[in-house]
Structure 1
């Protein structure tokens, strides 16, 4: 056999070896995924709206794949701890990140430097839901309306306090203060549930909270809802006016949750998760579940979510600038 033919045979054998090595791996990434438990990192504590969404996602994945899903709550530092942990996890589809506009829109403008890149460090899977927020005070508070709160704040400039458990809840209150011409003191918490606890105890004067953790306490008479932040009234709080109806014309803000994976996660895995997530989110049972806690299903494809994060980052940058917040 001539040298050229021998060389050709060896090249053909080498190609077969390479194909044999690569194809099963590619197939394993798609066809066999998932074959072990999945972890979902959450940037807020148990009981928060994001945690509730993450647990719904976990149930969706388990129901569809049979694999257990573990929730790993890593609250604090405006989502930095969780976002960094998710971004540096192996990109194999077994660590996911369910988060909000706090880590993936607002933080980029609230801080001079982030320990993660919300766009480059993550692969979008899909949006889950969106919801408005609600301004609440303790049930024993003398504040009955937004006008009452505004009047009180103007009588005591710089003394009234507001709590926040996320960047979204902070900016919502900062926007109110800016639009109403108020000076108030910001009290940050690791998460919304802790903040609500101090509002109920009147350690803090008010907060603009996610609806999910606030709604049961409103129904139990432990919190008094003053106004909601969307342009229309909330279906579960029909007697509570919007901020605009309460005299703050043009005020509107909402929060959203979405699922991401570490950048570099194979596209077949992303696509498989996206199909599973959308199917679950759009199911009648899940829509009813979101509605029961003050939200609405709002699915997006991976590509739609990627574009949405960019546009939301620009939107929140404007909100932060308009509120006069200096990056930390």
Structure 2
């Protein structure tokens, strides 16, 4: 399914018009106002075309178009770790016709990583609904002796620097810092700009361990080139069957999940956000959509707008101190 969805994506700035199936009737913003929506809706993705967030957004947009009876335009505006596209969404009118697919980076982590932000992830946005979550996965090269997270920690205790970790994302770096804090072991991570070069070095034996998404690791795990050591979700994940959480390997309470969620610019009427929330939840409740998201490496989520707001607040309270204590900056 991933290949099918990405097949028509040709450039990072590509725009896909997802054809709407006319609906006999759809929800209205209020009894006195015109029906919402009455024209195409734009969803800004602050990442390159073909990446996980983009492909999941296109799947969601395709389904929302059918629910709402209007086309959905998915527009890629990548740059500055997701800041460029998210700023564009923040500046859009709050009328329900421009949305953005936010992530734990755009709406939580970046405000602690960058010295200046051109928007406020709380004050400038209205939460709509959580779309999907996924854990990070610690994996080792098949030629290494490591079978568990404890094996890596023990090796580093004996010989510091013996199991350096590839970090292809900010999320991976946070996992390393959190594991260092919890275990007291002086882990050493090497930052990479993306999964490609990090994977090359781990598969080539230059590094022993990497931390990446289930989707990025899946083909290498299936081919036996990598071995999954643990997942960062609090409980086992269906995205990586049979792999124990780090929390169940002697580190109770260890949990990190990345996520995607739909947001609208501040000032979007509550009647409109309710229509959108209901549509997202209806779409995510479809078995075929849930399966397609799982195939893309996402655990389907959903829930109320209030839930998303509270969840993101807790994420900021949890990861802000970790980032500050570790001195992590976006330019490192």
Does residue 63 in structure 1 map to residue 63 in structure 2?
Answer: no
Does residue 208 in structure 1 map to residue 211 in structure 2?
Answer: yes
Q: Which moved more, 1:120-129 or 1:74-83?
A: 74-83
Report the Cα offset of residue 57 of structure 1.
Answer: 1.5
Q: Which residue is 2:286 aligned to?
A: 283
Q: Which residue is 2:181 aligned to?
A: 178
* Normalised TM-score (structure 1): 0.77
Does residue 310 in structure 1 map to residue 313 in structure 2?
Answer: yes
Does residue 86 in structure 1 map to residue 89 in structure 2?
Answer: yes
Partner Cα separation in structure 2 for residue 173 and residue 118 of structure 1: 25
Q: Which residue is 1:245 aligned to?
A: 248
Partner Cα separation in structure 2 for residue 229 and residue 304 of structure 1: 22
SS at match of 1:244: helix
Report the Cα offset of residue 260 of structure 1.
Answer: 0.4
CA deviations on 1:4-45 (whole Å, 9 max, x unpaired) are xxxxxxxxxxxxxxxxxxxxx998975151422x33222333
Once the two structures are superposed, the pairs formed by residues 226-265 of structure 1 within 5 Å of their partners are 226-265=229-268
Q: Any stretches of 5+ residues in structure 1 without a counterpart?
A: 1-24
Q: Which residue is 1:137 aligned to?
A: 140
Once the two structures are superposed, the pairs formed by residues 1-328 of structure 1 within 5 Å of their partners are 30-36=34-40, 38-141=41-144, 143-154=146-157, 155-157=159-161, 160-165=164-169, 167-180=170-183, 181-189=185-193, 191-192=194-195, 195-196=198-199, 199-201=202-204, 205-320=208-323, 324-326=325-327, 328=329
RMSD across aligned positions (CA): 3.1
CA contact (8 A) 1:132 1:255 kept: yes
Report the Cα offset of residue 263 of structure 1.
Answer: 1.5
Partner Cα separation in structure 2 for residue 28 and residue 199 of structure 1: 60
Aligned residues: 299
Q: Any stretches of 5+ residues in structure 2 without a counterpart?
A: 1-28
CA contact (8 A) 2:152 2:163 kept: no
Partner Cα separation in structure 1 for residue 291 and residue 255 of structure 2: 24
CA contact (8 A) 1:35 1:67 kept: yes
Partner Cα separation in structure 2 for residue 49 and residue 317 of structure 1: 24
More helix, by proportion: 1
Q: Which moved more, 1:225-234 or 1:89-98?
A: 89-98
